[in-house]
Amino acid sequence: MIPVQGFAGHQVAVLGLGRSGLSAARALREGGATAVCWDDNPKAREAAEAEGFETRELTRDGAFDEIACLIVSPGIPHLYPTPNPVIAKAWAAGVPVDNDIGLFFRSLATREWDEFDTAPRVIAVTGSNGKSTTSALIHHILSTTDRHSQLAGNIGRGVLDIDPPGDGDVVVLELSSYQTDLARALTPDVAVFTNLSPDHLDRHAGLGGYFAAKRRLFAEGGPDRAVIGVDENEGLYIANQLSEGPGDDRVIRVSSGQKLTGPGWHVYARKGFLTEWRKGKQVGSIDLREIKGLPGAHNHQNACAAYAATRALGVAPRQIEAAMTSFAGLPHRSQIIAEKNGVTFVNDSKATNVDSALKALQAFKNIRWICGGLQKEGGLDALAPGFDHVRKAYVIGREADGFAVQLTGVEAEACGTMEVAVARAAAEAEPGDVVLLAPAAASFDQYDSFEKRGEDFAARVQAALAQL
């Protein structure tokens, strides 16, 4: 655990008692503060009380008397579409509002670091798509090359639950826009921006607000090195804002599909090959085509970002290549779960928006596509460039009929449930086909999470294969 610094002897309010909220309360107590907790869910309050925490209704008058700070869980809106009433109370009382990420960065360094030969480093990864895979791949590369690493944040453990890092250790954080938007301290050593596509627009009042939340990791933090995906204008903008000139190698530009050259530091992937280009010459290359854990151009972009981040810490290209070869990928992200009779079954349940689903469609051919769910804003037209890889779509979700009619130019069958969709796709698949779950939608109309949806897909695949 990382004991929270700076609040010893003070009361700190904690709003939201899920994983990050309870973790923050424990870390505050470990650092000598008194955590005053609240959650609208009575069971969550009971769990906090069972650990000895005081619970207090934070919207009542005087609730913020003697409160030094309010810590907010990431799922709670603080500004858009409307401020949470507790946060509004904190504002009115002049109480600073922060989250567990802010507490982490203000509390990580200790006097013990003065005795270390090499100070611990933090790599923070944000972006719309690929940040989980990129974070996990960075962690895998470091662990494989005998550099002690911990993975936390939006993936793995809560940021305050990790062990205090030792001499030369690395902490790899995946950070969502919900986490970067509110944190009062953001000071990674290496910051990574994968890409940007529309998502969480209601929470951030549009694409501009969503991008602004991501950009805070770079604008507020001032990382020593920034790894920036430049395949969208937003990435180009961040890279330009951070760089002092074409040869400034504090900024490592990353691309999937573009050849990047020039006097700076670049890492790009084209036609399945990763290339590192620095100071006007090629200094590294990896053939990504046979790495099963990283299929498709979107994963090649993730590989470039992870390569750049670990190179920034001094890991050698050949070490990175060997580590990538042993990377198995993450569950629910282009995960091959079965192969039978020449048909491959791929679980990409994490493809919850149109952009990530398109990348999945472009990564495979001859696709029997299982899609659908709780549709997000913006429609499905942006999926069209991937339709030539689709043999047929099998649509799930409560609004399967409405989703199916939007797939213009694709044969689509409204199946409703995962059971029916998998059974139909498996029965109709031919050798060389890929049965791909890439929903292009949220899961919450039928499942508690994308993980549950992916697990159901895997179970239905096994059941269908048993009948073949």
Which residues define the annotated binding site? 127-133
Half-sphere exposure of 270 (CA within 13 A, CB side): 12
Q: Is the peptide bond before 81 cis (omega within 30 degrees of 0)?
A: yes
Work out whether strand 390-396 and strand 412-416 pair parallel, antiparallel, or are unpaired.
parallel
Check residue 311 and report its DSSP letter.
Answer: H
Check residue 273 and report its DSSP letter.
Answer: E
Distances (CA, A) of 77 to 35, 405, 443: 21, 33, 20
From CA 114, how far away is CA 134, in angstroms rounded?
A: 31
From CA 421, how far away is CA 320, in angstroms rounded?
A: 39
Residue with tokens 């700190």: 12
Residue 407 φ then ψ, to 5°: -90, 65
Neighbours of 243 (CB within 10 A): 17
3-state secondary structure of 21: helix
Beta-strand runs (E) in 142-289: 149-153, 170-174, 190-193, 225-229, 251-256, 265-270, 273-278, 281-287
Of 435, 452, 437, 439, which Cα lies nearest the Cα of 374?
A: 439
Binding site for ATP: what residues are annotated? 127-133
